[in-house]
Amino acid sequence: MSTSLLYHAFGLRGYQYRASLYEEGHVTFTIEKRPHTCRCPVCKSSEVIFHGHEQRRFRTIPIGNKPVFLDLAIPRVECRHCQITRQVRLGFADERRSFTRSFERYALELSRHTTIQDAARHLDVGWDTIKDIQKRYLSKKYKKPKLRKLREIAIDEIAVGKGHRYLTVVLNLETGAVVFVGDGKGADALVPFWKRLKASRARIQAVATDMSPAYIQAVRENLKNAVHVFDHFHVVKLFNEKLSAFRREQQREAEGSQAKKVLKGTRWLLLKNPENLDPKRNERERLDEALKLNQPLATAYYMKEDLRQIWDQPNRRTARKVLNDWCRRARASGIAMLEQFAETLEKHADGILNYYKYPISTGPLEGTNNKIQTMKRMAYGFRDIEFYKLKIYGLHETKYALVG
């Protein structure tokens, strides 16, 4: 093998090829550092005195399915200027690593398309080696995202496991990149983010959250000049939760077994948008039958459909009229659930209508959450929470697809 092949195939510069060894299913190349390229690792001086060497073996990129190793006697040199004796630095591997940088790059590229376990098996290394490579790369690139250019953000929490474990995520709505991941949920999880945001002197123009009192208070205290937009998906979701509870209440109060049976099978039909009802399964007919049997439930259902009209108006002024009209009809219905929800809408009317100033929402965070769930399945779960957070920071540049 020529010395030039060491450079072009394995990225080795300043080394000479000496020998090859084929044993136990792997290939080992013995290389030697050229004496005239040795420098002091501190001051880079070429005036050095050689004091022996230390034998090391490094894993590099495989040839086909055969692992490849490099055997190198690393020279120890004494600098005439520094009076320090140390090993020379290697151009192809980081300190305290048993693999080359080319192997690291190959492992990173491979792990973008497979699970960590599959990459480790293919390269014949431990799972923790691939994880360590990924973690160091992600830490170097994403550990402290720059916040200076942030303008529009979304804040929401995501579930990370059983036992009500959550992380609070802040998303840059302009780039789709996660800029902060906090432990837990609520205002306390955002404290480190506010400190970094203040230090960055970013000028946040708009922020999207749900109607959580904790988020409202946190935004009010830390983003006084930003427009606070209450996410319309969460508003509709909150109403759907109220509607499900109301259906159960109506089912308990229904007279006759037939009426109870009809109401019992309508939970998901009530939550579906009308255009999504499946005609092949007669979902429209089943829903109409249930609504005919229970007038209060029918009123609540049609009010749900009208609620979505608030965000389909040409301007904020018209949307306010639709919102006020919805609240008026909800109060006139005499249904306690609708009356209470009307009070909630009026209390948060400005934040809801701010959508017409900045049409943003936490919707992109749902897409990020889906990627997170896929990522968890590809890795079979994460026990290292710091590694998990780093993976979330890099999601916007990752394309996950489950195969097999």
3-state secondary structure 126-152: CHHHHHHHHHHHHHHHHCCCCCCCCCE
Give the residue carrying structure tokens 């809408």.
345
Residue 359 has pLDDT above 90, yes or no: yes
Residue 286 has pLDDT above 50, yes or no: yes
Per-residue confidence band for 382, with pLDDT thresholds at 50, 70 and 90 = low
Per-residue confidence band for 69, with pLDDT thresholds at 50, 70 and 90 = very high
Torsion angle, alpha carbons of 171, 173, 175, 178, to 10: 0
Token pair recorded at residue 97: 């690593």
The pLDDT of residue 293 is 46
The pLDDT of residue 312 is 92
The rounded distance, in Å, linking the Cα atoms of 181 and 386 is 10
Average pLDDT of the residues in 350-377 = 85
Residue 174 has pLDDT above 70, yes or no: yes
DSSP for 267-302?
HHHHHS-GGG--GGGTHHHHHHHHHHH-HHHHHHHH
User: Quick one: DSSP state of residue 187?
Assistant: G
Token pair recorded at residue 8: 């072009």
Where is 229: in which H helix or E strand? strand 227-230
- Interacting residues of 195 by C-beta distance below 8 A, sequence separation 6+: none
Q: What are phi and psi of 150, to 5 degrees?
A: -65, 135
The rounded distance, in Å, linking the Cα atoms of 58 and 158 is 41
Q: Is 230 left (phi over 0), alpha (psi -120 to 50) or beta?
A: beta
The rounded distance, in Å, linking the Cα atoms of 196 and 185 is 18
- Interacting residues of 363 by C-beta distance below 8 A, sequence separation 6+: 231, 233
| 52-65 confidence digits (pLDDT tens) | 889 999 999 998 88
- Interacting residues of 39 by C-beta distance below 8 A, sequence separation 6+: 45, 46, 48, 88, 89
Instruction: Name the least confident of 103-107, 140-144, 281-285, 361-365.
Output: 281-285
Just give the CATH number of 152-231+361-397: 3.30.420.10
Q: What are phi and psi of 99, to 5 degrees?
A: -135, 160
The rounded distance, in Å, linking the Cα atoms of 263 and 265 is 6
Give the residue carrying structure tokens 């990149």.
177
| 142-164 confidence digits (pLDDT tens) | 888 889 999 999 999 888 766 56
| 14-55 confidence digits (pLDDT tens) | 888 888 899 888 999 998 888 888 888 888 888 888 888 899
Token pair recorded at residue 234: 């969460």
DSSP-derived pairing of the beta strands 206-209 and 152-161 = parallel
Residue 165 has pLDDT above 90, yes or no: no
